C-alpha cells in the first residue's frame, strides 16, 4: 500500500490513475457543457460537472495528504540534479493545478450565486458570498487553469514516455506495474 524508496505503493498508484481518468473526463465534459445551448439539459450536465469537480477536489486533497505523510521514492539512479529538480517542480505544479481547477470552479459557482449540489446528496457548504467581480475572475481562472493543466499533463506523459523508451529507465514502471 505504501511507497518505498524505489517504487510507488498501491494507494499512490490508485490516486494517480483514478485522478488522471477523472480529470480527463472533467475537462472533456466541461468543454462539452460550454458548447451546449442554454437549457435544462445544459444545466443538468453543468450540475453533474460541478459535483464531479467537488469529488475531484476531495480526492486531490486526500492524495496530497497521502503524499505528505508517505515516503517519496528516490529519483532514479543516473537522473541528473537538474532533471530531478524539474521533476519535483512538475509534480508540485501538477498538485497546484489539480487543486486550483476544481477550487476555481467551486468559487466561480458560489460567487455567481449558484449553490453546488453533490450528486443530490446535499449542498456543498458555501465558502464565498455572491460577488459578480469575483465570479468573473474565477470564471477566467477556471478557463485558463484547465489549459495549463492539460499542457502540464501532456508534458508529464511525454517525460514518462521519454524515460521509458529513450532513456530506458524504470520511471514509468514505478507508477504502473514495476
pLDDT on residue 177: 84
With a cut of 70, say whether residue 178 has pLDDT above it. Answer: no
What are the start-end ranges of the E strands in 48-91?
A: none
Residue 94: count other Cβ atoms within 10 Å of its Cβ: 18
What is the tens place of the pLDDT at every residue in 61-91?
999 999 999 999 998 888 899 999 999 999 9
Question: Considering only CA atoms, which of 115, 138, 135 is closest in space to residue 125?
Answer: 115
Residue boundaries of the structural domains of the chain: 10-175
**What does pTM read for this prediction?**
0.94
% of the chain beyond a pLDDT of 90: 92
For 130-145, what is the mean pLDDT? 98
Q: How many CB atoms lie within 10 A of CB 118?
A: 15
Is the model's pLDDT at 143 over the cut of 70?
yes
Q: Tell whether the model's pLDDT for residue 117 goes beyond 70.
A: yes
Give the distance from CA 138 to its chain's centroid: 17
For residue range 100-111, what is the model confidence (pLDDT) as tens digits? Answer: 999 999 999 999
Asked if residues 147 and 54 have their Cβ atoms less than 8 Å apart, the reply is no
Average pLDDT over residues 123-142: 97
- As a CATH number, domain 10-175 is 1.20.950.20
Which residues face 44 on adjacent strands? none
Least Cα distance to 67 among 25, 98, 100 occurs for 98
Amino acid at each position: 500500500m505504501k511507497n518505498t524508496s524505489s517504487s510507488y505503493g498501491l494507494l499512490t498508484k490508485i490516486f494517480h490513475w483514478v485522478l488522471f481518468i477523472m480529470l480527463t473526463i472533467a475537462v472533456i465534459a466541461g468543454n462539452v457543457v460550454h458548447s451546449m445551448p442554454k437549457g435544462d439539459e445544459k444545466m443538468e450536465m453543468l450540475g453533474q460537472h460541478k459535483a464531479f469537480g467537488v469529488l475531484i477536489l476531495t480526492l486531490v486533497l486526500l492524495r496530497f495528504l497521502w503524499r505528505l505523510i508517505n515516503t517519496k521514492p528516490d529519483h532514479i539512479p543516473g537522473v541528473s540534479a537538474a532533471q530531478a529538480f524539474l521533476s519535483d517542480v512538475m509534480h508540485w505544479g501538477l498538485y497546484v493545478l489539480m487543486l486550483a481547477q476544481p477550487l476555481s470552479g467551486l468559487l466561480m459557482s458560489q460567487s455567481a450565486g449558484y449553490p453546488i449540489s453533490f450528486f443530490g446528496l446535499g449542498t456543498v457548504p458555501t465558502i464565498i458570498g455572491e460577488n459578480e467581480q469575483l465570479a468573473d475572475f474565477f470564471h477566467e481562472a477556471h478557463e485558463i487553469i484547465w489549459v495549463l493543466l492539460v499542457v502540464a499533463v501532456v508534458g508529464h506523459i511525454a517525460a514518462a514516455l521519454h524515460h521509458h523508451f529513450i532513456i530506458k529507465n524504470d520511471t514509468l514502471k514505478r507508477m504502473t506495474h514495476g
